[in-house]
Structure 1
Amino acid sequence: MASDDTHIAIEDRKRHPTLWFDDGNIILTTNCTLFCVHRGLLSMNSPVFADMLSMPQPDRFEDSFEVHPVVEISDNDTDFTHLMCFFYDHRYYHGGTETTFEKISGLLRMSTKYQMDDLRNEIISHLSLAYPSTLEQYVKAVDPSTQLSLFPPFHGQHFAIATLASETNASVLLPTALWRSMCMTSRDILDGVADSEGTKHMLSQKDAHLCILKKHRVYKEQMRAEAFLASLSLKECARRNETGKIQGTSPCSEMALSEVVRHISGIEGVMTDSHDIFTKMSAFDVWRPFVCDTRRERTVSELSSVRMGCWDALPRLFKLPSWDRLRR
């Protein structure tokens, strides 16, 4: 197949094997494929096509091929083929069922360009299964046991989704896509990664720079949160002397603070560069089984509040509008 910047004469381009209809009345052509389709169907599916095809033919069509007017399409051949397939069979894509990233990304680009709002919204809702706007849905989405009806996962997909969301102005996906990108290693963020097919996925230079800066800020916040959770003072679990007065630090606090120091100092091994405070707090996960029920329940409650606060601030972290504005 020709690359997007290769020009092929119209008479040398290949007819699409299934999207060439003998009773079609207009020919659309990408840089390498011809589609003989129906004007009415195009207009019915897209207001952009409706406006385009309502113009007088002599002013609009500069070429003809086999007595049909020809319209040159500048879109990527693969993306446009997905769109034509959807025009003729809306079962070609159905939100909530597994598809391919190539199909879903192509259709999102095309539905955005050709103002097909229903299809666009359906695709964004589909992608929101893995890149949601609520913390509760996020925790479910990143759970390895969750079976998402999305597309086969691939290395670098967070970068690909962030790029796609920026390209199509699907802003509601961006905070989570950038967050999941930021949770990749610094090397991956800077250099990009290749999937199993050898396709390399990278963030834009602006987003990569932003993720690296915010990664260090978030790591500091995580350390503060770990220390805060460990230093919670609870009289219910404090060690007391015979007079009933608090005597020293409670065993729970001693263990918690010890594990935080151990974690920060790296005694238990090199700290990972990829971390997600919405799913894991390294030191707390170690000491939580060994503290009393009162301390554990209070800490879990405080941790929930910390995470919710972080989630609410997530769009602002990436210089985006609030969640409410993004959802609208």
Structure 2
Amino acid sequence: MAEDEQRPLKRPRTLASNGSEEKSSLPSPGSATIVMERDEEFWLDDGNVVLVAQSTGFRVYKGLLAAQSPIFHDMFSATSLRADERYDGVPVIRLFDSPVDLRHLFRVLLPKSQKDVLKDTYDLKTDFHVMSALIRLSHKYQIEDVEKRALSALCHIYPTELEEWVGSDSQIDDNDRFYAIAAVNLARLTDTPSILPSAFYHCALLQSRVLLGFTREDGSKEYLSQDDLGRCMDGMPKLIASRNTTTLGLARCIQESGAENCWRTGLCAIARRSLSNSMVMMPLHPDHETHAMSSESSRWTAHGLCDRCIAKLEKEEFKSLSILWTRLPTIFDVDGLAGTWPGTS
């Protein structure tokens, strides 16, 4: 027999009990070995299941996961019968999720500190990726309480009430609008149509850039469906037309009368006329559509109106925006909003 044939096969590299090895080769039934890198945050030495996502391994407690997810419960029950999928005596399960997303989910299901407990509110700029991961994975693994609270936080960012929108919209810059692509997809995934009108509004303002999609935290991309892309494209001219109508209506109101208790009637009349004329020209401005649901109150101070006239205009503008707000579902062809959006029943 040749010397090469007598040489014994090498044992696969394994993760040492002291953690000295960063990677291990895990046997996969009927195929080549799986190369795994231990997750630094969720590799628990006494964990009783290893979950492998892409090339990252998580050693966690299956009892805690099974108690919170019927999908994990069934998965672990089925896997326990397969002795060939084990590492260090515990089952090994391959998941087709992003390890970045799983890490966010495990921070909620297996918290190591109080700061990892699920929050009631999230910030768009700093927490959107967390919300997105929690909603997608909690929906997939049927973890209803996590999905409900994460969706509630998303609904605060894309609200149904104009009062709440006015406060949140002022904090959103142009690049933040890309988050709305994911928000639309999350609304579709979870059948939460109340998110759609305001999310579509932001998508529409991206104009052709909406085709670029949204980049998730792990670098993967997601895009709107063809139908939802059509809603954005078809909705933009309707949005501009509705905004022009409400802007011209507000301009007429401004010119007609000031506040009843205005303390400098002559000067404010001149200021109102100047402001009204500038608002009449707004529909001709190339960037007018970017202000469709935004307040123009900063312009009023610049034109020299008194505080009392400004207060009156704020009320009139809110009425004008309310009309446009109730039209958003129609503008973007959103169904299923009965009783959840102003003006629907």
TM-score normalized by the length of structure 2: 0.68
1:226 alignment partner in structure 2 = 247
Q: CA deviation at 1:298?
A: 6.5
Encode CA deviations 1:242-270: one digit per residue, 9 max, x unaligned. Answer: xxxxxxxx989965664454334x4xxx4
CA RMSD, 1 decimal:
4.1
Residues 273, 222 of structure 1: alpha-carbon distance in 2 compared, 3 angstrom cutoff: closer
What's the counterpart of residue 31 of structure 1? Answer: 54
Aligned equivalent of 1:68: 90
Q: SS where residue 156 of structure 2 aligns?
A: coil
Aligned positions, number: 295
State the shift of 1:314 in Å: 2.4
Corresponding position of 2:118: 94
Instruction: Provide the C-alpha distance between the structure 2 equivalents of 1:274 and 1:136, rounded to a whole number of angstroms.
Output: 21
In the TM superposition, residue 179 of structure 1 has moved relative to its aligned partner by 1.2
Distance 2:230 2:236 in 1: 10
Q: CA deviation at 1:222?
A: 1.6
2:251–2:280 Cα contact (<8 Å) kept: no
CA contact (8 A) 2:247 2:280 kept: no
| Other-structure match for 1:263 | 282
Q: Give how far 1:301 is off.
A: 4.2
Q: Deviations over 1:268-307 (max 9, x none)?
A: xx4206423332359x956995789998777654433332
C-alpha displacement at 1:216, in angstroms?
0.6
Query: What is the alpha-carbon distance in structure 1 between the residues aligned to residue 293 and residue 310 of structure 2?
Result: 18
| Rounded Cα–Cα distance in structure 2 between residues aligned with 1:310 and 1:181 | 17
Cα distance, 1:106 vs structure 2: 1.6
Q: Is the 8 A contact 1:154 1:195 kept in 2?
A: no
1:13 aligns to 2:40 (yes or no): no
Counterpart CA distance in 2 for 1:257 and 1:276 is: 17
> How many angstroms apart in 2 are the aligned matches of 1:113 and 1:49?
10
Tell me the secondary structure at the aligned position of residue 179 of structure 1. Answer: helix
2:235 to 214, 218, 224: 214
Tell me the SS of whatever aligns to 1:70: strand
1:138 counterpart (162, 165, 172)? 165
Q: Name the % identity.
A: 24
Give 1:94 deviation, angstroms: 3.4
Q: CA deviation at 1:170?
A: 4.2
Distance 2:159 2:139 in 1: 20
Equivalent in 59, 78, 82 of residue 100 of structure 2: 78
Residue 139 (structure 2) aligned to one of 90, 112, 117: 112
Q: Which runs of 5+ in 1 are unaligned?
A: 1-6, 147-152, 238-249
Change beyond 3 A, Cα 1:79–1:169 = farther
Cα contact 1:192–1:202 (8 A) shared by 2: yes
Shift of 1:183: 2.6
Kindly provide the CA deviation profile for residues 215-236 of structure 1, in whole angstroms up to 9, marking residues without a partner as x.
1111111222222233459987
- Taking structure 1 as the reference length, what is the TM-score of the superposition? 0.71
Residues of 2 paired with 1:119 and 1:295: CA distance? 47
Contact 1:82 1:106 in 2 (8 A): yes
In structure 2, relative to structure 1, the CA distance for the partners of 1:253 and 1:78 (3 Å cut) is closer
Alignment match, 2:205: 183
Tell me which amino acid in the other structure corresponds to 1:48: I
Distance 1:272 1:166, change over 3 A: same
